[in-house]
Structure 1
């Protein structure tokens, strides 16, 4: 077990949300763990002035991408600039309590077989409710997983740390040595499913994915993309299939694609039609055709 206080690089992405990012950075100012560097990657915001972040927090490293590279691409820019032994990827639409870093660092210090760890995540609009306390396995039919404890009261029932099937991209800490062995997040997804893909790659490398409820954050959730937008419909629908193509074994992939073709695609099409959600319908079918026309996906 290590006894030092390793440098933690905190990486977050800004996209048209300087005010939101500034609120998160203000909460980071109160951290009891002081050996940190903070890196903000602006993902080529078209309707924002990210320089406001640097003006208010001159100690922060602000990197302005010339192109919107999505969740993975933006975070990868941050990784390449980071100096820390541990890298904490955190959404800009979060608020953190002062002591949330220490349990994550201690978890990784105590067990080098742990490749990534997420805290408990609670809703900012109601901190008594849980958003994430680990994940169930990815279903081979639906290509969906469930967040354990979702919308449940934070009454102590989800306070046991341990291995979990996948990580939550809103807050995840990964040792640099693991990234150097496994590689960066793949940028094929742009939005959604990339953290699950990365978690699978890290598990295949022999590491554990961990949930640590001694730490928590408050999550405002989906401010950049909207809680239910055509953009979200497109990327979740597209990337659900991309994830299966990259991570499922041949038999599981066959089962999944049969289910998508015979059940999921017809059901979603009818649902969007009945609800007259035509923009979502177009986004959904655009996602399906993307997978049909893009045969060559680099596999893990």
Structure 2
């Protein structure tokens, strides 16, 4: 990722900050030997989650625009310039993502925007996902439902208005919750498909982990609790109770995954027992890898 920045970036006024988020062995001394002194390396001794790691970098960043990118991405020519241009010419844009394609399948789209959320089901769709890129979405520059957490550029004033990402989510849904708060602060969420970044995420979904099952379900409920009306919440609760709950329990049974059943129940219980603004993670820190 760092090599791709140096190879393709031509934007002069750039500050690079790298966060190590709880690796078992501190890699930062070797990083400092291998990379220019102009890069700021920060280490958290423990894993503080997706939001926590990004927020740690934001706390020392000095720029007017902050570009959060996953370490399993690679830049392309003009990426930063294309996003900066949109923020420069349209002050209502609070946060923006580029088009994302799979690194191992570079003609396949991962993200070209999101539809708006259906608050009754807490479901939406990723535009262009798994489609071959023939430029069919390159005209979509403008508002979209949500950015993608793998690559998102936000203006400082939007952070000042909406706050940083909520660290209680830890993993999954935190960037969507952030977008809701940014929208509530009268900023717009945009996609710039003429900007491109490659993501080294697999196109295939592997075996489900207990950690993923817990946070996906806990945070799906939490997102609704934090971001919609009471009427929508009750419709969602009914949908979740009558459709999602029996469907998931049956699926876990068929897959012979009692471990996922316990995580699913744990996710529901967390939301019953804790306030929507709780700081209680609900997952043993020693189990988080």
Deviation at 1:289, TM superposition (A): 1.6
Deviation at 1:64, TM superposition (A): 0.9
- The correspondence of residues 1-300 of structure 1 with structure 2, limited to 5 A, is 24-30=1-7, 31-47=9-25, 49-58=27-36, 59-160=38-139, 161-221=141-201, 228-294=208-274, 296-298=275-277
Given that 2:50 and 2:170 are in contact with CA atoms closer than 8 Å, whether structure 1 keeps it comes out as yes
5+ residue gaps, structure 1, are 1-23
Q: Deviations over 1:92-147 (max 9, x none)?
A: 11111132111100000010000000000111110111111110111223212211
Number of residues of Structure 1 aligned to a counterpart in Structure 2: 274
Given that 1:135 and 1:164 are in contact with CA atoms closer than 8 Å, whether structure 2 keeps it comes out as yes
Q: CA–CA distance in 2 between the matches of 1:78 and 1:177?
A: 16
5+ residue gaps, structure 2, are 279-289
Deviation at 1:55, TM superposition (A): 2.1
Q: CA–CA distance in 2 between the matches of 1:288 and 1:50?
A: 38
Deviation at 1:35, TM superposition (A): 1.8
Q: CA–CA distance in 1 between the matches of 2:152 and 2:57?
A: 14
TM-score relative to the length of structure 2 = 0.90
Given that 2:23 and 2:45 are in contact with CA atoms closer than 8 Å, whether structure 1 keeps it comes out as no
Q: CA–CA distance in 1 between the matches of 2:222 and 2:124?
A: 15
Q: CA–CA distance in 1 between the matches of 2:262 and 2:198?
A: 33
Deviation at 1:181, TM superposition (A): 1.7
Runs of 4 or more off by more than 4 Å in structure 1?
none
- Secondary structure of the residue that 1:81 maps to in structure 2? coil
Q: CA–CA distance in 2 between the matches of 1:115 and 1:81?
A: 20
Q: CA–CA distance in 2 between the matches of 1:284 and 1:222?
A: 24
Given that 2:20 and 2:27 are in contact with CA atoms closer than 8 Å, whether structure 1 keeps it comes out as no
Deviation at 1:266, TM superposition (A): 1.2
